[in-house]
Amino acid sequence: MRSRLATVALLLPAVVLVLVGFVYPYLTMLVAPAANPHPDVPGALVNAVTDPYVVDIVARTVRVAGMATVLSVAFGFPVAWAISRASARWRGALLLAVTFPLLLSTVVRSFAWIVLLGRDGLLSKALWAVGITSGPTQLLYTEFAMVLGLTQLFMPLLVLTAYSSLAGLDPTIEEAARGMGARGGAVFARVVLPLALPGTAVGAILVFAGCMTAYTTPSLLGGTRNRTLATLLYQEANTSLDWSAVSALAIIMTLLVLLVTMAMTRISAIGARR
């Protein structure tokens, strides 16, 4: 009984902070925005889901976030596996190299892509030199640019979470699987991957949520022709001042992230049981 009371006493300040600092303001914004004297969030939500312009932006946001998440998993998981198998001498340096970009400003990292993807940028010149394009190509202000920028921005999160799962695996498990006749591919697919799936799924959720809610990178690399939910929400909040529409967009964004989180959690649970 005393230990339970102690646990409640320790958790109570954090619970109060979350309720007062996050849950209450969030619910207030969604249900009755304070800046709007006559809020109509349900009506704005109906207008949003039936407006082809908003639906197109939602589809683009999900598409870009999904592609960035897939690329992050495809490139980040092998990096995490290589770091987990590196010697202790190199592991710290490799982890530092992965986490270092997180210390840089998002604006700085996005401007670096502007230099690379512009009409006179390095990538455009490289494609022209090898004959893929017939001249300088504007790769900036496209969905391709947004996917590249978001992948580079959030992939370190997936590497770190996947590494946490891979580093905890007992190497003798793989040795036992090889001793029973399993080959390298089978060991990876049927032993390593299922055990590392929970951490990788958490990383994928973080990447997708970050891509869905990112503003700076889509704004700088996508331009005004390739709006996402975050850039549209910013426009409604700072230009149109339509707080009911802002709340409706926030609801759509939150629901999409929750749906993907539930799906990834389910996939992770099924994979872990195999």
The string of pLDDT tens digits covering residues 192-227 is 777 788 888 889 999 999 999 999 999 999 888 889
Chain mean pLDDT for the chain: 83
Q: What is the pTM of this model?
A: 0.84
Q: What DSSP character marks residue 168?
A: T
How would residue 228 be classed by pLDDT, with cut points 50, 70 and 90?
A: very high
4-62 pLDDT tens trace = 787 878 888 888 898 888 788 777 777 666 666 667 778 888 888 899 999 999 999 99
Report the interhelical angle of 41-50 vs 52-85 (nearest 10°): 80
Q: Which CATH number fits domain 41-104+145-273: 2.40.50.140, 3.40.640.10, 3.40.190.10, 1.10.3720.10?
A: 1.10.3720.10
Highest mean pLDDT among 121-125, 132-136, 168-172: 121-125
Residue 117: its pLDDT value, please? 85
Backbone φ, ψ for residue 194 (5° rounding) = -60, -35
pLDDT at 210: 93
Residue 48: CB partners within 8 Å, gap ≥ 6?
Answer: 54, 245, 248, 249, 252
State the pLDDT at residue 88.
80
Amino acid at 141: Y
* All structural domains of the chain with their residue ranges: 41-104+145-273
Q: Which among 225, 259, 253 has a CA at the least distance from the CA of 237?
A: 253
What's the farthest any 2 CA atoms get from each other in the chain?
76
